[in-house]
Chain A
Amino acid sequence: MKFDALALAAAVRAGQVRAVDIAQASIARIHARLDLLAVTRCLAERALDEAAAVDAMVARGEDPGPLAGVPYGVKDLFDVAGLATTAGSASRIDAAPAARDAVAIERLRAAGAVLVATLNMDEFAYGFVTDNAHWGITRNPHDPARFAGGSSGGSAAAVAAGLVAFALGSDTNGSIRIPAALCGVFGNKPTHGSLPMDGVFPFVDSLDDIGAFARSAADLAVIDAVLRQDNAVPDFVPRPAVLDGWFERNLTPAMRFAFDLFTIGFPRVSLDRVDKARSAAFLMTAYEGGRFHLPALRDQALAYDPAVRDRLIAGAALPEAVYRAALDWRTTFIAQVEALLDRHKVLIAPVVMGEAPRIDDPVVVVDGERQPARANLGLYTQPISFCGLPVVSAPLPVRGLPLGVQLIGARGSDRALLQWAAGLEARGDLAPKLEETC
């Protein structure tokens, strides 16, 4: 049984497959792939209850919705009624259970989707590799010696391995786009603030967004429509351009080849001082994240993952003047980017420099220097989320390990961007890389 969301929902709505059977298959797959360390909690009882409710609606001749019986998981920072929202931290395992589901989960349930699992992440979403001190390092389904990317690595790995049909994650600096690219699936970071954040554990309010991972752009578009409660697609005639300079430095040979092939014939355009935008995003993250966590750090610093704790403490010490300077540069930088988007509608950039880093050599090469992957995989994603723009992280059709591109749209063009990505996928210009067993 392939876990394509649209196909599964169509079969359930037509009474050809029972949602309960799909949920059981998903649960079985989760238990068969515990080695991935993608899943933190399998919600078997809840999933079977939700699936039975979907089947009962079909039996009564009612339509359960566009995601009828489709199994999914959520990054472990979404509120799930009755469970502690850990945000990937062992320090929150005994937190008070959530009184209700996050709004995003409520909307998915109303559309017939079936929640099966919570998924691994970097602690408090502060990292790009999903190296979690308590739940372990999520493995890349395409090579278990490599990272899945992060911070929503469990979500990406679970979709790529076919444990669930789709998953929710969050993206502050690249935390959906990066794992989607490294695991070979589609992911979307929406226009900032356009999808519901109620019931999502925060990291950096100015930059946080939720989004989804799926096996196709068409699946992603349906999930987005459910989350957004809007399926309208405006007219859209892109004249895509490729971001050069900063965004074309440091690519691995495999990425260089695949990226050039994908972007052949598109004009190249430049942004000024992308390095400054990336540093500003880095500092905003450290400042807001550090200040949010400071009260807890004063009380229980040693309960944090050391790699996260030390970043947060340093960030909490940043002066407000630095934060204000970062915000000022954001205004200037956004004006530059929006001028390009007025002309081109879509800008294209790599997601990361190349293939997923190896777990035993957790570095990336930036300007000839080996730098920690945990903090530096966001080289190309941070300057874009800094602007609050919608992005589809799309897998390139490659033979080796997965590689991905960012399709960047103007503010509010989320729906059109997803439809355009689906067209590219239908043409074969984009292709997910899924575990062959699925």
Chain B
Amino acid sequence: MTEFPLFDLTEEAEIAAALAEALAIDLPEACLPGVAANVRLLRRHIAVLRDEV
């Protein structure tokens, strides 16, 4: 899924950095675990939509 690099990331810190850049948002630390979990969840739905699973 390299077309959408943010959704290939797995580490919370990497996701936070990518989101901060993509959304121009200063992501509070409290959000990191939940946001990372939701990025992973959306990644699974993208894979279904793109017939990758």
Contact = CB atoms under 8 A, between A and B. Distances in A.
Contact of A317 (B6, B34, B49): B6
The CB with the most chain B CB atoms within 10 A, among A275, A279, A280, A306, is that of A279
Contacts of B37: 310
Contacts of A309: 31, 34
B31 A310 contact: yes
Given A276-B49, A279-B48, A329-B49, A313 B31 contact: yes
A322 B27 contact: no
A286 B42 contact: yes
Given A309-B34, A317-B22, A375 B41 contact: yes
A311 B49 contact: no
Contact of A302 (B30, B34, B35): B30
A298 B4 contact: no
Contacts, number: 79
Nearest to B4: A319
Given A286-B42, A313-B35, A294 B25 contact: yes
A301 B28 CA distance: 8
B31 A282 contact: no
B49 A322 contact: yes
Given A283-B46, A286-B42, A321 B3 contact: yes
Interface residues of B, number: 28
Contacts of B48: 275-276, 279
Interface in B6-48: 6, 18-19, 22-28, 30-31, 34-35, 37-39, 41-42, 44-46, 48
A44 B6 CA distance: 50
A317 B23 contact: yes
Given A317-B39, A319-B3, 5 more contacts: A301-B25, A302-B28, A314-B19, A315-B42, A317-B23
Contacts of B19: 313-314, 317
Contacts of A311: 34, 38
B31 A315 contact: no
Interface residues of A, number: 30
Interface string A281-300: 01100100000001001100
B49 A301 contact: no
The 9 closest A-B pairs by CB, nearest first: A310-B34, A314-B38, A279-B48, A279-B45, A310-B35, A314-B39, A282-B45, A279-B49, A313-B35
Nearest to B3: A321
B28 to A, nearest CB: 6
Contacts of B44: 279
A297 B42 contact: no
Contact of A325 (B6, B39, B50): B50
A431 interface: no
Contacts of B35: 310, 313-314
A298 B24 CA distance: 8
Interface in A213-229: none
Nearest to B6: A317
B36 to A, nearest CB: 8
Contact of A322 (B28, B41, B46, B51): B46
A322 B3 CA distance: 10
Given A283-B45, A311-B38, A317-B6, A301 B23 contact: no
Contact of B42 (A302, A318, A321): A318
Contacts of B6: 317
B23 A313 contact: yes
B31 A283 contact: no
A326 B18 CA distance: 23
A1 B44 CA distance: 51
A401 interface: no
B5 to A, nearest CB: 10
B41 A325 contact: no
A325 B44 CA distance: 15
A210 interface: no
From A294, A310, A326, residue with most partner B Cβ within 10 Å: A310
A326 B49 contact: yes
B34 A306 contact: yes
A310 B48 CA distance: 22
A23 B27 CA distance: 47
Contacts of A316: 23
A283 B46 CA distance: 8
Contacts of B49: 276, 279-280, 283, 322, 325-326, 329
